[in-house]
Amino acid sequence: MQPSYLRPTYIEVDQQAIYHNVHEEKRRLNAETALFAVVKADAYGHGLIPVARVCQEAGATGFCVATIDEALALRAAQIAAPILVLGITSAQAAPVAAAQNISLTVGDQDWLDDASNFLSEVTDCPQLKIHFATDTGMGRIGFTDVVALHTTAIFVEESKYFTLEGIFTHFATADEKDTIYFEQQVAKFKLMLAALPKRPRYVHVANSATSLWHEACQCNMIRFGVAIYGLNPSGHALAAPYDLQPALSLFSELIFVKQIHAGDSVSYGATYTAQNDEWIGTIPIGYADGWLRRMSGMTVLIKGQRCPIVGRVCMDQIMVRLPEKFAVGEKVTLIGRDEADEITLQEVADYADTIHYEIVCDLHDRIPRHYLPRRED
Ligand code: PMH
């Protein structure tokens, strides 16, 4: 969708907050452990390239993305650091990945057979770096069988097309207080690791939650995602060991203000009807921007005061009840701080009955991103 630069709705990304979150985590890691910043899905809606650059300044060694296209976007921005694609890539794209020094995830022998065919068609193709995904309980992608993993590892050792750069797993419950399932996954991963004839350069299991709350198991790399953005992966369940600083705010302005009278209704379905004379403000954001229809009833901040969204959220506009007549052009805070009050992404997610990961990824690129520069330390 076309970014709407002239509409007064925008996201503000605080680069200092991102720097702080990555830097704090780096300080906790031992010197041998690499921090790969997870910048998939446009850096969780914060903007791929600007976030990647700040992460590098703060000490990130490499990046994890979900798709090869995201990896290629990093390379096109002259980012030369190691990149791992976490999802399964079409085998057809193996030569592009090899040529661009992008590491791919492999979860079975069949993929390697297919990729070998494509790689064999290219003269002087560099070796493709791969990481074995092991499925120790996430039930998503990866080797489940130790013997199959061992056999494939031998195949890779003997193949001229591939080099094994890493092995990893992903936990399903690292953000929960109960650690039983987590421990079972750790035990399975240790068996998987032991099945390799040689330990690869990177062994990694930790997402943000694992790195924040669990001892790493024989690992030397973390895949640090949501905490980069200052968001607690557990929601309310567990306290982070340092202050995570939220990086994203969402602002707009009152674009239209009017008085309505008792009995007048607002928005589609006429679901909201005024009881008295009321001041209503219209804000140019809607579900096409990722401000979900479920946000009806949620508040926004104007002049430090909470104003509820009344009636249904439209595609491009919402209406709020104002405590008094406010001027057109008054600043509206949908996420972030306004005077003494703050609307956090966690509050928005709780209201919408979802997780903050989903709210940030839903914020559409119709909303321009503005970047607050880093402050010097
Ligand atoms: N590693 C893998 C394999 C992931 O899928 C993710 C996030 C991360 C690391 C980073 O996790 P964090 O953001 O909690 O630190 N993946 C997803 C997902 O697939 N759905 O929500 C988060």
Q: Give pLDDT tens digits for 69-113.
A: 999 999 999 999 999 999 999 999 999 999 999 999 999 999 999
Q: Distance between terminal CA atoms of the chain?
A: 37
Domain ranges of the chain: 32-229, 248-372
d(C-alpha 228, C-alpha 36), whole Å: 11
Distance (Å, rounded) from C-alpha 288 to C-alpha 149?
44
Q: Which atom of ligand 1 is nearest to the CA of 224?
A: 15
Segment 44-73 shows an average pLDDT of: 98
Percent with pLDDT over 90 in the chain: 97
Overall average pLDDT of the 44-52 stretch: 98
Predicted confidence band of residue 1 (pLDDT cuts 50, 70, 90) = confident
Give the closest residue to 312 by CA, choosing from 302, 298, 325: 298
Model confidence at 329, pLDDT cuts 50, 70, 90, reads very high
Verify whether residue 357 is a known catalytic residue: no
Kindly tell me the number of DSSP H helices and DSSP E strands found in the chain: 11, 20
The 3-state DSSP composition of the chain as helix, strand, coil percent (nearest 5) reads 30, 25, 40
Q: Residue 147 burial (CB < 10 Å; 0-12/13-18/19+)?
A: exposed
d(CA 191, CA 185): 10
As its CATH architecture, domain 32-229 has Alpha-Beta Barrel (3.20)
Average pLDDT over residues 268-290: 97
Average pLDDT estimate for 61-74: 98
Q: What is the CA 59 to chain-centroid distance, rounded?
A: 18
The answer to whether residue 26 is catalytic is no
Which residue's CA is the closest to the ligand 1 atom numbered 20? 357
Which of 278, 245, 203 shows the shortest CA–CA distance to 344? Answer: 245
Above 90 in pLDDT, residue 20?
yes
- Percentage of the residues of the chain whose pLDDT score is greater than 70: 99
Residue 358 backbone zone (phi > 0: left; psi -120 to 50: alpha; other: beta) = alpha
Q: What is the pLDDT of residue 377?
A: 60
Å from CA of 160 to ligand 1 middle: 31
Other Cβ atoms less than 10 A from the Cβ of 263: the count is 9
Q: Which token pair is 96?
A: 């592009």
- Predicted local confidence at residue 221, as pLDDT: 97
Q: Which atom of ligand 1 is nearest to the CA of 175?
A: 14
Q: Hey, whose CA ends up nearest to atom 12 of ligand 1?
A: 225
What is the 280 CA–ligand 1 centroid distance (Å)? 40
Q: Residue 215: what pLDDT?
A: 82
Structure tokens at 306: 């909470």
pLDDT tens, 177-212?
999 999 999 999 999 999 999 999 999 999 999 999
* Strands of 232-273, DSSP E: 248-253, 256-260, 265-266, 272-273
* Residue nearest atom 10 of ligand 1, based on CA coordinates: 225
How far, in Å, CA of 254 to CA of 369, rounded? 19
Please enumerate in sequence order all residues whose Cβ is within 8 A of that of 129, keeping only pairs 6 or more positions apart, or say none: 98, 101, 102, 103, 104, 162, 163, 165
Is 216's pLDDT higher than 70?
no
Please count the residues of the chain.
377
User: Hey, CA dihedral for 320, 322, 328, 332, is it positive or negative?
Assistant: negative
Q: Among the options 26, 40, 129, 287, which is catalytic?
A: 40
Residues sharing a CB contact under 8 Å with residue 224, sequence separation 6 or more, in sequence order: 22, 25, 35, 36, 37, 38, 60, 206, 207, 208, 211
Q: 211-219 — which CB contacts under 8 Å span 24+ positions?
A: 211/25, 211/28, 211/29, 212/238, 212/240, 212/241, 213/174, 213/175, 213/238, 214/174, 214/179, 214/182, 216/33, 217/186, 217/189, 217/190, 218/190, 218/193, 219/33
Q: Is the dihedral of CA 195, 36, 178, 214 positive or negative?
A: positive
d(CA 102, CA 94): 9
Given this model, what pLDDT does residue 375 score? 83
- Active-site residue among 160, 258, 268, 331? 268
State the average pLDDT for the chain: 97
pLDDT band at 138 (very low <50, low <70, confident <90, very high): very high
Supply the pLDDT for residue 335.
98
Distance 226 CA to ligand 1 centre (A): 8
350 C-alpha to ligand 1 centroid (Å)? 20
Residue nearest to atom 8 of ligand 1 (CA): 207
Say which CATH class 248-372 falls into. Answer: mainly beta
Tens digit of each residue's pLDDT (9 = 90 or more) over 217-248? 779 999 999 999 999 999 999 999 999 999 99
| Contact in structure between 287 and 298 (CB atoms under 8 Å) | no
Ligand 1 contacts (CB < 6 A) are 38, 86, 170, 207-209, 223-226, 233, 357
Q: Which atom of ligand 1 is nearest to the CA of 355?
A: 21
CA 44/CA 70 separation, integer angstroms: 12
Nearest residue (by CA) to ligand 1, atom 22, is: 357
Tell me: pLDDT of 320 over 70.
Answer: yes
- Alpha-carbon distances of 96 from 24, 121, 127, 156, 370, rounded to whole Å: 35, 12, 11, 19, 32
Residue nearest to atom 6 of ligand 1 (CA): 207
Q: What element of type H or E holds 102? A: strand 102-106
5 Cα–ligand 1 center, Å: 31
Which of 226, 231, 358 to probe ligand 1 with, by most ligand atoms within 8 A of CB? Answer: 226
Residue 369: its pLDDT value, please? 98
Mean pLDDT for the stretch of residues 254-267:
98
Ligand 1, residue 223: give the atom nearest the CA: 9
Q: Cα–Cα distance between 53 and 65 in angstroms, integer?
A: 15
